[in-house]
Amino acid sequence: KQEVTQIPAALSVPEGENLVLNCSFTDSAIYNLQWFRQDPGKGLTSLLLIQSSQREQTSGRLNASLDKSSGRSTLYIAASQPGDSATYLCGNTNAGKSTFGDGTTLTVKP
Nearer to another protein, 12 or 45 (CB): 45
Verify binding: residue 13, another protein, rule CB under 8 A.
no
Nearer to another protein, 73 or 98 (CB): 98
Q: How far is CA 20 from the centre of its chain?
A: 9
Distances (CA, A) of 30 to 80, 92, 104: 29, 7, 21
The contact mask relative to another protein for 41-80 (x = CB under 8 A, - = no) is xxxxxx--x-xx----------------------------
Sign of the alpha-carbon torsion through 27, 30, 33, 38:
negative
In the DSSP assignment, the letter for residue 55 is S
**Contact set for another protein, span 78-107 (CB under 8 A):** 89, 91, 93-98, 100-103
CB of 96 to another protein, least distance (A): 3
Which residues of this protein are in contact with another protein, per CB under 8 A?
A: 4, 31-32, 34, 36, 41-46, 49, 51-52, 89, 91, 93-98, 100-103
